[in-house]
Structure 1
Amino acid sequence: MSEEQQGFARTLSHRHVAMIALGGTIGTGLFLGAGSSISKAGPAILLIYIVTGLFVFAMMRALGELLISDDSKPVFIDFMTQYLGKKAGFVLGWTYWIGWIVIAMTELTAIGTYMHFWFPNMATWPWELAFLIVLYLVNIIAVRAFGEAEFWFSMIKIIAILAMIATGLILALGQIKTPMGKTEFSTLWSHGLVANHGKTLLAAFQMAFFSFLGVEFVGVTAAETKDPLQTIPKAINSIVFRILVFYIGALSAIMIIQPWTNYQAGESPFVQVFSGIGVQSAAALINFVVLTAAASAINSAFFTTGRMLYSLAGPKSRFGQLDHNHIPRAAINLSTLIVGLSVVVNYFFPTDAFNLISSTASATFLVIYMALMVTHLVYKKKQKKGAIEKAKGFKLPFAPWSNYLTILFLALIFILMLLSSGTMFTTILAIVWLLMMTIVAFVKKI
């Protein structure tokens, strides 16, 4: 289907797409969850992030090759429909849609919690409603407005990370004494390299993977990107560099400034470090950063769920239509209304009721990522038979072995979730959802 037939406006620039891809790899998993990762793995968490990052990069290269083979598809799930069949596309498409819906509901609830930090005596639901309305308006005004919002959301996160890295380097190079002691590079390894004698290393792999959830989001922007044949490959190829600089750099700085044995799960290491060196407003600064990370996630969710519903509904449905701004407004409207249910729930039940469902969404993303690698395998087989054109020079290195290894890695994380007491129930819920959608696909004879 051509761009004219679809009616999408290619207004996202390389600057937008680069920051969208970057924003997809930086979230609360780093700012809030890094303390738990460090406590489970120690300095070995750096190697875990590198290994996990390489597999994520392989997945993104496979996604990039698919996108370049046909950059007119609205969402990357359309490739799964093409190569795995309509039933698989139906199940995976609705799974991806509901996954982003739940993530948005969870992040909207989190926004209320973050605002409670500054306004402890005020109810959280008005803040949630305000953010919901503002981000909805950003998504229906124009695609470029979404791109600009995501650019600045990502910029705030980058500044916070670079500040952490710069602080660590300055203190270590000058061997400056702080209330936490003398800062030296050797602090990184002088207290041991592995936490808990390696007993919790596998759990750290699971947590590292969750930090990368949403990295595939750049695959939803391809049909609305200027020069996608150049922009998408550049954004994907820079992922490894971003992982090394932002994750490895920030975590190294954290463990250099303060011994890794001091960090506790459930506490932001960013807050601990900045507070420890005398930045009294550290908690407020990091609260602002995670607030923007949550807003970024909701912004991305509205964009994704709108395009997903547009693709799933088809051109005969009102949800499969674009407005005069080339935006699937009806699809975004419905997705926003569903996400808005979290505001209603939090009005009557002012507690975070979505953590359980959020974990379920995380398990479904593992299935989506594995399906993406299988889709790429089928694509390559058809390419060999001459049924489709080659992907214009952008390929997944070492395929098909890189496919098999990535699928195995993702499957192991899924099994770890299934065997872990903390995530067993939510993983079973994800399996039940997939089975239910499969039954629906067969009953509807899709």
Structure 2
Amino acid sequence: MNPTPASPAPQSGTKATDAGADASPPLSHGLKQRHLSMIALGGVIGAGLFVGSGAGIAAAGPSIILAYALSGLLVMLVMRMLGEMSAANPASGSFSVHAERSIGPWAGFTVGWMFWTLLCVGIAAEAIGAAGIMVHWFPGTDSWMWVAVFMAIFCGTNLAAVSNFGEFEFWFAALKIAAISVFLILGVLAIVGALPGTDAPGGSNLTGEGGFMPNGSNGLVVGLLASVFAYGGLETVTIAAAESENPVKSVAGAVRTAMWRIALFYVGSMVVVVTVIPWNDKSVVKDGPYVAVLDHLDIPAAGNIMNVIVLIALLSAMNANIYGASRMSYSLVVRGEGPAVLGRVYGGVPRLTVLASSFFGFVAVLLSYWWPDTIFKWLLNMVGAAVLVVWAFIAVSQLVMRRRLQREAPEKLVVKMWLFPYLTYVALAATVAVLLLMLREDDTSTQLYFTIGLTAVLALIGYARQKAVAGRH
């Protein structure tokens, strides 16, 4: 199939049109509403919730419920702001395009390439995690072999029509949602004493073993940070919405779906875990909170069941990250913020950016093998707080764009941020507060410093490009 060459992209420093700076050459609109609905509902639920939440529970105790609720409220505000902008101007570059239009080309460059770096490192981390499960199941096999298999499968999936990505994510998300739903049902039955063979715990696990906040405010802060990063990735649904059959309608529906999912799946899961078993049960961290609860309820083969679910979650997130990275880099390229050669579209798919994003993901995997305690750890630290920087850019962008839309095109405000501008300021202040809280912990402070460094480097490059282009006109 012959490639569709990119039409001349707006140069860095030029104003994007309302039609979308990245609207040409055309991407396929092959994602159906059912794809978007399911991706929004469960597409980015990853191992961070299934396994990683154990560390947050160990630190915060029962107050992990409060931590997830508070960070969930912040995410709801961020998604509402992003939904407002994306419904008004659907674009495959999502918040990068919004930042360029509202703040300036340097901002779109900075947040776009930062998010791309975050996703590429995420591809590597998920591939390594999935390979570890396979090696556990098939002793004697090498991790690199499974990484190669997974990279080939999902790179190939993303090279094909976007509907293939949609189908994979639809079924992956459906399986994850089914698993969490069964978990929540079993948990509620156990809590009320309706599950055969179990005694109703009542509120003893919420108030015993040191009380609701056994480790005080410090524990709550650690739990809050863990919960914030568990929510990362929700932004990808607005990228995918640009390739749906009806982008405006899809964005509005996806934002609403994401909101109630936060309340039910994330906060609900934490309520079940810390109510059914003591928060300081060693298996919560060792085996993961979901496995710990299922074992406590004497569910047969709980460990193997959850390993399957975690594997699905890892592969789903890996698939979504390849997709998100390829679309974000494609958007940057056709806006003049990256190598122009990558801006070709084949059959409605930006295959060169898929290959480039997969390549850098695979390079990150190799780095993890060669220097696991140095270079790969450095990469992970560098993007550790990237999602918070993205949220801050989203908030500032929405402050500017909302006022512009009210003046120039109020009919485009089909999704509106609540109590504007007050809740936007609340979201921005909360994001900054979480960044400052990261300074209280050694691990998270290191991540913050590295992320600040990456942000500064990208911002300087973006600003220099913007000035250079402006000087030529």
TM range (shorter): over 0.9
Q: For 1:233, give the aligned amino acid.
A: A
TM-score, normalised relative to structure 1: 0.92
Offset from partner CA, 1:61-95 (integer Å, 9 cap, x none): 11111111122554331111111111111111111
* In 1, Cα distance between equivalents of 2:297 and 2:92: 50
Aligned with 2:384: secondary structure?
A: helix
1:197 aligns with 2:220: no
8 A contact 2:121–2:364 mirrored in 1: no
Report 1:395-434 matches (<5 A). Answer: 395-434=416-455
Counterpart amino acid of 1:336?
Answer: S
| Conserved 8 A contact 1:25-1:211 | no
Which residue number corresponds to residue 203 of structure 2? 186
Structure 2 counterpart of 1:103, one-letter code = G
Q: CA deviation at 1:40?
A: 2.0
SS at match of 2:141: coil
Match of 2:8 in 1: none
Q: Indicate whether 1:298 and 2:318 are aligned.
A: yes
Tell me, what secondary structure is at the counterpart of 1:412? helix
The aligned counterpart of 1:334 is: 356
Which position in structure 2 is the counterpart of 1:253?
Answer: 272
Q: 1:222 to 1:172 in 2, by over 3 A?
A: closer
What pairs with 1:54-73 in structure 2 (closer than 5 Å)?
Answer: 54-72=73-91
**Matched residues in 2 for 1:252 and 1:419: separation?**
26
Distance 1:30 1:353, change over 3 A: farther
Question: Is the Cα–Cα contact under 8 Å of residues 59 and 372 in structure 1 kept in the other structure?
Answer: yes
Using the TM superposition, name which of 39-48 and 126-135 deviates more.
Answer: 39-48
Residue correspondences, number: 442
Aligned equivalents of 1:169, 1:126: Cα separation in 2: 41
Instruction: Give SS of 1:265's match.
Output: helix
Q: Distance in 2 between matches of 1:18 and 1:49?
A: 23
- Specify the alignment match of 2:5 in structure 1: none
Correspondent of 1:318 among 310, 333, 341: 341
Instruction: Please state how far the C-alpha of 1:295 moved relative to its aligned partner.
Output: 0.9
- Post-superposition offset of 1:49: 1.6
Unpaired runs of at least 5, structure 1: none
What letter matches 2:451 in structure 1?
A
2:193·2:199 contact (CA, 8 Å) conserved in 1? no
2:179 counterpart letter in structure 1: A
Q: Following TM superposition, by how much is the alpha carbon of 1:21 offset from its aligned partner in structure 2, in angstroms?
A: 1.6
The match for 1:91 among 87, 110, 114 is 110
The answer to whether the 8 A contact 2:93-2:112 is kept is no
**Larger displacement relative to structure 2 (296-305 or 189-198):** 189-198
CA distance, structure 2, for counterparts of residue 303 and residue 354 of structure 1: 22
Which residue does 1:126 correspond to in 2?
Answer: 145
Secondary structure at the residue paired with 2:242? helix
Match for residue 282 of structure 1?
302
Letter in 2 for 1:303: Y
Structure 1 stretch 190-199 or stretch 157-166: which is displaced more? 190-199
SS at match of 1:383: helix
Considering only aligned residues, what root-mean-square deviation do their CA atoms show, in Å?
2.3
Contact 1:59–1:373 (8 Å) recurs in 2: yes
Q: Is the 8 A contact 1:129 1:343 kept in 2?
A: no
SS, match of residue 354 in structure 1: helix
Residue 64 of structure 2 aligns with which residue?
Answer: 45
Task: Tell me: CA distance 1:394–1:348, structure 2 relative to 1, closer, same or farther (3 Å).
Answer: closer
| Offset from partner CA, 1:348-387 (integer Å, 9 cap, x none) | 5688973552343231111111000100001122234x23
| Larger CA deviation: 135-144 vs 348-357 | 348-357
Q: Cα distance 1:244–1:168, how it changes in 2: closer, same or farther (>3 A)?
A: same
* Pairing of 1:307-386 with structure 2 (within 5 A): 307-314=327-334, 317-324=340-347, 326-345=348-367, 348=370, 354-384=376-406, 386=407
* Contact in 1 for aligned 2:78/2:427 (Cα 8 Å): yes
- Shift of the 34–41 alpha-carbon distance from structure 1 to 2, 3 Å rule, reads same
Work out the CA distance in 2 between the residues paired with 1:50 and 1:182: 27
- Distance apart, 1:255 and its partner CA: 2.4
For 1:8, what is the secondary structure of its paired residue?
A: coil
- 236-245 or 394-403, larger mean C-alpha shift: 236-245
Distance in 2 between the 1:215 and 1:27 partners?
11
Write the deviation string for residues 120-174 of structure 1: whole angstroms up to 9, x where unpaired: 3221000000000000111111101001111111122112211211212223333
Shift in Å, 1:18: 1.5
**Matches of 1:34 and 1:346 in 2, distance apart?**
23
Offset at residue 220 of structure 1 (A): 0.7
CA distance in 1 between counterparts of 2:161 and 2:247 reads 19
Consecutive unaligned residues of structure 2, counting only runs of 5 or more, are 1-18
What residue number does 2:6 align with?
none
Q: Alignment partner of 1:193: what SS?
A: coil
Alpha-carbon distance in structure 2 between the residues aligned to 1:41 and 1:225: 40
2: distance between equivalents of 1:347 and 1:102?
14
Residue of structure 1 in register with 2:13 after alignment: none
Question: Which amino acid in structure 2 is aligned with residue 256 of structure 1?
Answer: T
Q: 2:389 is aligned with what amino acid? A: V
